Amino acid sequence: EAGVAQSPRYKIIEKRQSVAFWCNPISGHATLYWYQQILGQGPKLLIQFQNNGVVDDSQLPKDRFSAERLKGVDSTLKIQPAKLEDSAVYLCASSLQRGQGRDTEAFFGQGTRLTVV
Amino acid sequence: AQKITQTQPGMFVQEKEAVTLDCTYDTSDPSYGLFWYKQPSSGEMIFLIYQGSYDQQNATEGRYSLNFQKARKSANLVISASQLGDSAMYFCAMRGRDTDKLIFGTGTRLQVFP
């Protein structure tokens, strides 16, 4: 079974530029997450989708971040304009379902390491 | 609000010894799930073990076991017979029934030495 695919793996941009990340979840996984992991910290949830609807985006800085999940499969996360503090690893994850239970564990991609200079 | 606390920034253990990584949590949800993930230096998050709040027995997966003490709101990870490849960051995470967010602690860096 193929895992969660993310691209690019690395990105360096100047502040005020825009950037987009792409994620392809595991086939059949209805729930998709985007996390931001700043160096030395745990992942912080930015947005959670159930199919193509948003479940939670309370911690997404909506003035600069946007995300979409077309047709309930692939997802893109965009930052425009980027700030220095956006430097982090952006992790995409998917799970078979929400709630509790053995099938609710999230499977993660390798992440995109963003450096804003 | 949900919260995960990992109070050990770093831990050392000798190869073949057992080690316990601490995790405490706070939630008002009556039903919730607890997860542990491993993050090697390569960056990917690897799922290790799951414990449901209503599970009667502590979860085990190979060399990993979860010491779940519901009254104390703790979900410590026990790694038996440590291996050099266990050196990594370890994150405790929780999802509640009502909030449904998967939230993470700050992690513990484990180093296994020969």
Q: Cβ contact (<8 Å) for A100 and B95?
A: yes
* Chain A environment of B106 (Cβ under 8 Å): 41-42
Q: How confident is the model at residue A1 (pLDDT cuts 50, 70, 90)?
A: low
Q: How confident is the model at residue A105 (pLDDT cuts 50, 70, 90)?
A: confident
Q: Cβ contact (<8 Å) for B45 and A108?
A: yes
Between chain A and chain B, the number of residue pairs with CB atoms below 8 A apart is: 64
Mutate to test the interface with A, among B90, B95, B106 (most CBs of A within 10 A): B95
What does the pLDDT look like over A44-56, one tens digit per residue?
Answer: 999 999 988 998 8
Instruction: Quote the tokens at residue A114.
Output: 């963003």
- Is A16 touching B (CB cutoff 8 A)? no
**pLDDT in tens for each of the 114 residues of chain B?**
789 999 999 999 999 999 999 999 999 888 899 999 999 998 889 999 999 999 989 999 999 999 999 999 999 999 999 999 999 999 999 988 766 778 899 999 999 999
In this complex, the residue of A45, A100, A108 whose CB is nearest that of residue B101 is A45
Q: Helix, strand, or coil here: A66? A: strand
Look at residue B99 in the predicted model and tell me its pLDDT: 64
Look at residue B17 in the predicted model and tell me its pLDDT: 97
- Is B2 touching A (CB cutoff 8 A)? no
Look at residue A52 in the predicted model and tell me its pLDDT: 85
Which alpha helices (DSSP H) does B66-108 contain, by range?
A: none
A1 versus A41: which is more confidently predicted? Answer: A41
Cα-based distances in Å from B91 to A4, A41, A60, B31, B49: 19, 10, 22, 20, 11
- Cα separation of A29 and B20, whole Å? 32
- Is B102 touching A (CB cutoff 8 A)? yes
- Is B53 touching A (CB cutoff 8 A)? yes
The whole-number average pLDDT for the span A66-91 is: 95
Cβ-Cβ contacts under 8 Å for A97 (sequence gap 6 or more): A30, A31, A103, A104
* Chain B environment of A39 (Cβ under 8 Å): none
Look at residue A32 in the predicted model and tell me its pLDDT: 93
pLDDT at A91 > cutoff 90: yes
Check the CA dihedral A7-A10-A13-A15 and report its sign: positive
Q: How confident is the model at residue A43 (pLDDT cuts 50, 70, 90)?
A: very high
Share of chain A above pLDDT 70, in %: 97
What is the rounded end-to-end Cα distance, in angstroms, of chain A?
Answer: 37
